[in-house]
Amino acid sequence: MHEFAFKNNELYCERMKVGDIAKRVPTPFYLYSYKTLIDHYRKIKAAFRPVNPLICFSVKSSSNIAVLRAMVKNGAGLDIVSGGELYRARLAGVNPKRVVYAGVGKRCDEITEAIKFGIFFFNVESEEELQEIQRVAKSLGKKVNVAIRINPDVIPKTHSYIATGKGETKFGLDFETVHKIFNSSWRYPNLNLNGLHVHVGSQILDAAPFQAAIHKILDFIKKYHIAVEYFNIGGGLGIMYSIEHPQTARSFAEKILPMLKRSKLKIILEPGRFISGNSGVLITRVLYNKLTPRKKFVIVDGAMNDLIRPSLYEAYHKIVPVAVDGNSSETSEKVDIVGPICESGDFLGKDRLLPHMESGALLAVMGAGAYGFTMSSNYNSRRRGAEVMVIGNKFYVVRKKETYRDLVRGESIPRILK
């Protein structure tokens, strides 16, 4: 469920008419619903209440500091993967003891900043990284919590680019190596090897791969008497983009809670998309209609630099007119919705049935709250658009549209070329 709905043929976000926001904010822009974000956070929290987990919202899915602040203010921790995300987390006022830090390539400066800030856990993905964190922790005179990320070698049904729990991916460590690490914990006097971490992939629609991974890891803990207090089961819960039937947070929790409860471990979750996915849409304006002998194109001002998921993963995002005219079904036609970028892969939707959309009309690309703005770029020297958050009957521009000056910030021409 989300807070984008039609009333009298006009799309609303909570109690704001989207068309009214578009009169004040240049398109394309991202529009987030505060209530949807928080509702989804609460859903997951309620579903897992029996194990009272620490829920760390995955910053990479939607990282505007207003979004992070909303999460933090409502009790969430944050899951970060870079110094940049740590910086954002701090601006959002997060409690360091609610921050977990994953990723295969943490740099020395990033590790240093995270230790100084006092984060809760490093999720470590290699032996060399473990040695590096030990070295930095020692030099700072600190002892830090470490969870080893296990690659459970399970195959989730999702796009191969976002399936992380398969043996051949770069993520985590195999069971044998993890066992070896725990047997040589004396080598890491400044590390508290106090957790295990797993993340099997993203946009996973059923509990089976989670169950398989959790089962394998709990067996491993038992078999080798691995002494840890925390188990971070990652993120990855899928959402509905078109015809998927994802499990609800409750049905997902029901399937894995018995195992988690039996383990007596303290549980950490890192959901991203489940919380942010349906909380955001991309609003874009029609520029031109173009009829070719083969196809009809609706050319809009949003493009693959704004939302790359369709181009990169052939992801489906529902696209709807922001204002529906009464006889729209009569004028419906099959169109490709494409952006201005010079690549044939620049599309937001293909073969979609839409009423005729005049130049100037607005479209909403749904389910764009996760990995939308965060994966946007300046390709074709396009300025990234604004991010807007609606709270009730008010909207707030939480990131301004970039200026041309922003585009060249930090660039310079060497004197020799002048």
Backbone angles phi, psi at 312, to 5 degrees: -80, -40
> Which one, 231 or 395, has the nearer CB to ligand LLP?
231
Which among 298, 297, 304, 302 has a CA at the least distance from the CA of 284? 302
Q: Spot the catalytic one: 13, 56, 108, 342.
A: 342
**Interacting residue ranges for ligand LLP, rule: CB under 6 A:** 58, 61, 79, 102, 162, 164, 199, 202-203, 234-237, 270-274, 309, 313, 370-371, 375
Q: Is 235 or 302 the residue whose CB approaches ligand LLP more closely?
A: 235
CB of 139 to ligand LLP, least distance (A): 27
Report residue 38: phi and psi, to 5°: -70, -40
Closest to ligand LLP by CB, 102 or 249: 102
Range list of H helices, 141-201: 175-183
Residues in the chain: 418
Q: What is the C-alpha separation between 109 and 82, in angstroms, rounded?
A: 10
Q: Decide whether 16 or 178 has the Cβ nearer to ligand LLP.
A: 178
Nearest approach in angstroms of CB 314 to ligand LLP is 11
Closest listed residue to residue 240, CA positions, set 205, 207, 270, 269: 205
| β-pair partners for 100 | 79, 121
Q: Residue 79 or residue 301: which is nearer to ligand LLP going by CB? A: 79
312: exposed, middle or buried (Cβ count in 10 Å: 0-12, 13-18, 19+): middle
CB of 239 to ligand LLP, least distance (A): 9
108 counts as catalytic:
no
Task: Give backbone dihedrals phi and psi of 173, rounded to 5 degrees, phi first.
Answer: -130, 150
Alpha-carbon torsion (167, 170, 172, 173), positive or negative: positive
**Least distance (Å) from ligand LLP to the CB of residue 186?**
28
CA atoms within 13 A on the CB side of 319: 29
Nearest to 103 by CA among 118, 87, 125, 86: 125
Least Å distance, CB 377 to ligand LLP, is 13
* DSSP conformational letter for 409: T
Distance (Å, whole) CA 343 – CA 312: 12
Distance CA 384, CA 366 (A): 18
Nearest approach, Cβ of 103 to ligand LLP (angstroms)?
7
| Cα 124 to Cα 94: distance, rounded to the nearest angstrom | 21
Catalytic residues: 342
